[in-house]
Amino acid sequence: MKWFLIFWAGPIALLGSWYGLSYYDMNFGIFMLTRDAHDLVFQIYGHILGIPPEDLPPLVMRAIVFDSFLVFALLAFRRRRQIRAWWQARRQSAPAALASDESLSSAP
């Protein structure tokens, strides 16, 4: 599961850092981080998909959010026993914590 999360988060981090650096033209002398390369990449993808290039970043963000939801749902499903045990322990300790808070507030 660790490698699955690494292979999921790695490309997202790479894409996000490239997008942020190229959007603000912080290129450090590397052509791929220039705003011209940024615009060219989105023009090419827009031409391939047949949509305007300015519509692509929101679509990519929606895809990342959807994929992230699926990954976290899979992670929660795989750890459902641990989550259930944590939730039950939390629910059992909540009345005791509430009682101790009430006793503290009623003290003079």
Domain range list for the chain: 2-106
Residues 21 and 35: their CA atoms lie apart, in Å, by: 9
pLDDT at 105: 57
pLDDT tens readout for residues 55-104? 999 999 999 999 999 999 998 888 888 888 888 888 887 666 656 655 55
The proportion of the chain whose per-residue pLDDT surpasses 70, expressed as a percent, equals: 86
Q: Are 75 and 1 in contact (CB under 8 A)?
A: yes
Residues 56/45, Cβ–Cβ less than 8 Å: yes
pLDDT of residue 103: 54
Would you say residue 10 has pLDDT above 80? yes
What value does the mean pLDDT of the chain take? 87
Averaged pLDDT for residues 48-54: 95
pTM beyond 0.85: the answer is no
